[in-house]
Amino acid sequence: MNRKDIEDHHSPGSSPTLTFSCYTEGHGKDFFSPNLWPERPAGMRKAFEAYYRALGGIGDELMRIFALALGIDERFFDDKITRSISHIRFNKYMAQKEAPLPGQLRAGAHTDYGTLTILYGEDRPGGLQAFSPDGEWIDVRPPPGAFVVNIGDMMARWTNDRWVSTLHRVVNPPRSEHRAERLSIAFFHQPGHDVEIRCVETCHGPGNPVRYPPVTYGDYRFGKVVSSRIEEDEA
């Protein structure tokens, strides 16, 4: 838990065989390492790994749907997500016996770095909000059993802001509901760290110049992580 956000989490990623150079060289060494698993509850690792594989498959299929929607080859993104650095995060938002500090939220406003995020969360007091095109924060209350899918920064760069990344946050429960805890599971679908993110051909042209220079995902994500740590230290 950092000093700004009021949450606790466990965040495992994939478990590749760390012999290929993409896992051990460059940013590979920053993003791939053995997962650490608690001994209890029993079966946690097995459940998380099965869920990770299932959500990874959903994310890959969504990327093919995205490609068709953008008017490019259905398999355009396949080789860019083969050695993904996707990870899953189990979030627990604790009861707030003490009132949060001014401006402190369960999770402050942010966008996600990758391609898309698949979120499953409890509909409890102190939940998810998304920032609308009209400039308002709106409550996100999916029906039971449904997922929420957020667009990430990489799709914004690939599409030249035709699709923008979703600004979102997790708010505090009202003080009358301060005992309310909340669980959510987020799957952060991401490209490989060595993949170059460059605007796709159908998203730029006369009167619509390319807004972002090409960048490898590893460089982008590493820079964002470092800058967020600096902001936390300066807070």
Residue 28 vs residue 48, higher pLDDT: 48
Residue 2 — very low, low, confident or very high, per pLDDT cuts 50/70/90?
very low
pTM of the model: 0.86
Residue 126 vs residue 22, higher pLDDT: 126
Q: Which domains does the chain have, with CATH numbers?
A: 8-234 (2.60.120.330)
Residue 14 — very low, low, confident or very high, per pLDDT cuts 50/70/90?
low
**127-184 pLDDT, tens digit each:** 999 999 999 999 999 998 999 999 999 999 999 999 999 999 999 999 999 999 999 9
Write out the two tokens for 221: 């994500």
CA distance 19 to 34: 13
Sign of the torsion formed by the C-alpha atoms of 54, 58, 59 and 60: positive
CA distance 88 to 82: 17
Write out the two tokens for 213: 């220079």
Whole-angstrom CA distances from 125 to 2, 20, 128, 225 are 21, 45, 9, 29
Predicted confidence (pLDDT) at residue 87 exceeds the cutoff of 50: yes
CA distance 55 to 23: 21
Write out the two tokens for 56: 């990874």
Q: Residues 211-221: what's their mean pLDDT?
A: 95
Q: In what order do the strands lie in the sheet with 8-10?
A: 8-10, 87-93, 182-189, 116-121, 148-151
Q: Residues 105-123: what's their mean pLDDT?
A: 94
